[in-house]
Structure 1
Amino acid sequence: MNYLIGVDVGTTSTKTVLYDEHAHVVDQFTQGYPLYRDSNGMAEQDPEKMVAAVEQVIHDAGQQIDFANEKLLAVSFSSANQSLILLDEHFQPQSRVITWADTRARNAADQLKRSPLGKQLYDKTGTPIHPMSPLTKLLWLKDTAPERLAATSYFGDIKSYLFYRFFNSFKVDISIASCTGMMNINSGDWDPTALELTGVAKDQLPEIVNGTTQAVGLTDEAVAKMGIPADTPFVYGAFDGALSNLGVGAIQQDTVAITIGTSAGVRVITDHPVIDPQERLFCYAVDNGLWVVGGPLNNGGDVYQWAVEHLVTPSAVQNEQTDPFTLANRVIEGEPAGANGLVFLPFLGGERAPLWDANARGSFFGLNNLHTRADMLRAVMEGICMNIATVYQAVCDLVGQPKSVTATGGFARAEVWRQMLADVLNCPVNIPESFESGCLGAITMAMKSLGMVDSLSAVQNFIGAEKSYQPVPETVAVYQKYLPLFQQVEGLLSPAYSTIAKLQRK
């Protein structure tokens, strides 16, 4: 038997899935690491802990292979995007990994967004102006720590750093590069305007390569840590959102993929770049000739977790002899659509799409003395879905109404979430059997790189069964009244977000 390993390098953990050559899951492994939030807005990782985690999970997967009689065909990578690492002349880290979740560049982002140059850069790079992007992180460092930039020889991300550690080669795939705010989506190369603005030279950035590019020739240290053959090809892959689309088979323009985990995302793949005149959505590369259009949302399952922790009492959990989330889902199922006239804006962690406002804050609207904890739980779940629907509508505005939605993430395990999403979107929602879509997308890119498949569309053969949820007309009619109200309230509160955020920071 031959094998492939898909690696998904995430914000708080790295996982691997070991597949056989027919893309059947054999085993999976996870290794966690901390996310440092030492100061207001900080969200950083330790690059050495991340390297160790990646080496460990690949080692664990490799232990399942009998290398005397079996072969590891390739290791392929999915990773979170929009990270930044400062490196010295020997490619040693001079900073921790500044992640997408770090918001300390908010002032730099606000200033750029208000200038004409902000719109020009969005049109050229497809990356909304927001603290998440390496572009604005570099502007923040340029303003607040110019001496650190002056002492930096190279600027990378977690994937380019990993590949450097494993192969002594400083390269990055086009998908990750396109998420930086510094790659021109038309030329596929680093954008001169972005380079001039940040003061970064092209040769200080990794070389941009296709996602199916292979790196071969692991260092002796990497071989010792991972315990796999030195000639094992490592395929660069893409960023996690793009590979999640691929891994659920949403690779045509008529299928939208929605992921709701800790955060959330709405994405559709096209065969050409699509720029949103209203700057609500991103446009990133998947690989040569494929683009993903959509929006990331900060607020997904983490908001629901907050609500369950604060609104479900321990005594109720004990009485029902179940866990808090199962109880909350059961309570919500018994509540009417619209939560008895209660609307929740789920912006507990600021928001990316569609607002692109790190100062956004959450709120209940319509609360009166008749409302209960059950109403509030239902409103929270509906608020998350309606926020997703706002991004979904923006995607439809640009690329057309899809035939269906494919949804994955932790939420997809609960029936009430699945049906609610179909009703709020007024579109069929399909839930695939496999939840590890990023790793499946990664090994599909490896298969294409190795010539095992002709096209990425071959992933359709590996996905397995799906369960479909159809919108219920009566419930759809309710949400079609509440969704415009949700958007109206958000518009009314938007001017006050910066004021409340400043008061909270004080």
Structure 2
Amino acid sequence: MKVSSGEYWLGIDCGGTYLKAGLYDHAGQESGVCRQSLPVLSDHPGWAERDMPALWASCASCIAALLRQQNVSGAQVKGIGISAQGKGLFLLDKAGNPLGRGILSSDRRAGDVISAWQRDGLHQQIYPLTRQALWAGHPVSLLRWIKLHQPERYQQIGTVMMAHDYLRYCLTGERGCEETNISESNLYHMANGGYDARLAEMLGIAEISAALPPVVGSAEICGTVTPDVAALTGLTAGTPVVGGLFDVVSTALCAGLHDEFTLNAVMGTWAVTSGISAEMGERENHPYVYGRYAGGEGFLIHEASPTSSANLEWLNRQTGGMAFDEINRAVSALPKAGTDVLFLPFLYGSNQGAEMTAGFYGLQSLHHRGHLLQAVYEGVVFSHMTHLNRMLERFPQAKTLRVTGGPARSEIWMQMLADVSGMPVERPQIEETGCLGAALAAMVGTGVYATFAQAQRHLHFAVKRLEPDAGAQMAYQKKSQRYQFLIDALGGYHARCAAADSQGKPHHD
């Protein structure tokens, strides 16, 4: 079989459910992608873990399969980058071996840690330094939980990392924490641009500062492929591996964000709205999450919650399964905002309070599966508007919304987002933003481009644009208001339940 010619850059994307590896030429054109599913292990309620050796085995086999499928030799791969889901915790012991399972950002075991910190007012002390929220999936929350509940494991910690740091370590044997991801760990002082030992001390994990590896840049060459890895994957020993990217940053890069006039909405398991700015704001109306942008070129500012398309996937599994095209036809056959059926998309978490859960309201016997699907589409968009409206306060000049993720393939869903938001929605025609973003980091690191901004300018992908329908916006505004009324009413319900529980009385709701 003929071996393909040319030079390629390998981008690896380690997500919540899949690991993907893609090959790209210097212009960002995809040669091929290989995908492998990644199991989430949950031995206890709220736990979300990953077997670390199995993750590396999946990564190595995915790389090997990609090279075989594309008839590419290891010598043709000029650089490697990794993009990954942010936060979570992947630990090595003092001998450099995996220390238990990796913990994903969706893990909720540290909820009591967060509650204790909130009672102590720690968020108000930490936020001005870190520009982060305090929540269960952060490395610091998980480290504190391990210290309290698994003290023997805590004492064995040799290195603190996150998912793409671990995979980079497996490729190269070198330890480091990549900046776009570690900057959102609550261990990093955002203004100063590095670790601050005071933060670990304030969070009750002072000992962990000794286990933090060097902060490495997104495009910084952090090591090279080892001979053992080369034999396992088909790569060439000595191939440079760069720091990589937090996957939200990969997506923003591929969406073409470069100024404050465009925002990026990511719709997947998480609903994320991002913008970039050269400077940190002061005295803002909302505690926005900040992170370092690729190459240290400003800051990524974002709002997020796990309230997006995973809700649709769940409903589809429960109702027999439909192809995505069939779902879109079912929704498009109905009048816009034509029913009173509402869906709260909080199956995996909420942006309306920790106690809020998912549900339908307004169902009658006349409704069918199409109405349920339409309500899920609407609920996801209404939930996303919570974040978009806050981001528009921070980015008042933003006029366009660039959307990436699975729902971006649905014209009906994207038109709904345009109608509800009143903003033009643009969809870059890029299938795998995580892989491409990681490959761009490798291109910058190996000198193909001097900066990420220059790399962005050399990408040439079609962008499909949808304009908002002013007439539909009025109908959606009414339904969106009802959505918020329902959330407010349920807030009262949960407050009464909590009060009754604290008094040991039966509920009368």
Q: Would the aligned equivalents of 1:173 and 1:209 in 2 still touch at CA under 8 Å?
A: yes
- Asked if residue 241 in structure 1 is aligned to residue 230 in structure 2, the reply is no
Q: Would the aligned equivalents of 1:404 and 1:429 in 2 still touch at CA under 8 Å?
A: yes
Partner of 2:9: 4
Letter in 1 for 2:311: V
- Asked if residue 217 in structure 1 is aligned to residue 224 in structure 2, the reply is yes
Letter in 2 for 1:224: A
1:19-418 matches, within 5 Å, as 19-63=24-68, 64=70, 67=73, 71-196=76-201, 197=203, 198-274=205-281, 277=284, 281-287=288-294, 288-310=296-318, 312=319, 323-351=322-350, 354-355=351-352, 357-367=353-363, 371-418=367-414
Shift of 1:386: 0.6
Structure 2, gaps ≥5 residues long: 1-5, 502-509
Q: 1:195 to 1:244 in 2, by over 3 A?
A: same
Give the one of 484, 491, 499 matched to 1:494: 491
Q: Would the aligned equivalents of 1:256 and 1:404 in 2 still touch at CA under 8 Å?
A: yes
**Aligned counterparts of 2:286 and 2:80: Cα–Cα separation in 1:** 36
Shift of 1:280: 5.3
Partner of 2:21: 16
Q: Would the aligned equivalents of 1:103 and 1:358 in 2 still touch at CA under 8 Å?
A: no
Shift of 1:41: 0.3
Q: Would the aligned equivalents of 1:255 and 1:402 in 2 still touch at CA under 8 Å?
A: yes
Identity of aligned residues (%): 27
Once the two structures are superposed, residues 435-493 of structure 1 have per-residue CA deviations (whole angstroms, 9 ceiling, x without a partner) of 21122222222222222223323324324111111000101112223333323432342
Q: Would the aligned equivalents of 2:407 and 2:413 in 1 still touch at CA under 8 Å?
A: yes
Q: Would the aligned equivalents of 2:174 and 2:223 in 1 still touch at CA under 8 Å?
A: no
Number of corresponding residues: 490
Once the two structures are superposed, residues 230-277 of structure 1 have per-residue CA deviations (whole angstroms, 9 ceiling, x without a partner) of 121111121001111101212322111112123322111221234785
**Aligned counterparts of 1:167 and 1:494: Cα–Cα separation in 2:** 50
RMSD between aligned alpha carbons?
2.5
Partner of 1:474: 471
Once the two structures are superposed, residues 109-152 of structure 1 have per-residue CA deviations (whole angstroms, 9 ceiling, x without a partner) of 12213332212212221221111111111222223223321232
Q: Would the aligned equivalents of 1:160 and 1:172 in 2 still touch at CA under 8 Å?
A: yes
Q: Would the aligned equivalents of 1:419 and 1:469 in 2 still touch at CA under 8 Å?
A: yes
**Aligned counterparts of 1:119 and 1:275: Cα–Cα separation in 2:** 15
Q: Would the aligned equivalents of 1:160 and 1:206 in 2 still touch at CA under 8 Å?
A: no
Shift of 1:74: 0.6
Q: 1:383 to 1:280 in 2, by over 3 A?
A: farther
1:393-472 matches, within 5 Å, as 393-457=389-453, 458-472=455-469
Q: 1:430 to 1:460 in 2, by over 3 A?
A: farther
Q: 1:232 to 1:497 in 2, by over 3 A?
A: farther
Letter in 2 for 1:308: N
Once the two structures are superposed, residues 183-231 of structure 1 have per-residue CA deviations (whole angstroms, 9 ceiling, x without a partner) of 1111121233321122333221121011110123322221211221212
Q: Would the aligned equivalents of 1:78 and 1:237 in 2 still touch at CA under 8 Å?
A: yes
**SS of the residue aligned with 1:441?**
helix
Q: Would the aligned equivalents of 1:109 and 1:131 in 2 still touch at CA under 8 Å?
A: yes
Q: 1:327 to 1:26 in 2, by over 3 A?
A: closer
Q: Would the aligned equivalents of 2:216 and 2:222 in 1 still touch at CA under 8 Å?
A: no
Shift of 1:380: 1.5
TM-score normalised by the chain length of structure 1:
0.90
Q: Would the aligned equivalents of 1:167 and 1:217 in 2 still touch at CA under 8 Å?
A: yes
Shift of 1:49: 1.0
**Aligned counterparts of 1:151 and 1:141: Cα–Cα separation in 2:** 11
Range moving further from structure 2, 378-387 or 121-130 = 121-130
Q: Would the aligned equivalents of 2:88 and 2:162 in 1 still touch at CA under 8 Å?
A: yes
Q: 1:334 to 1:121 in 2, by over 3 A?
A: same
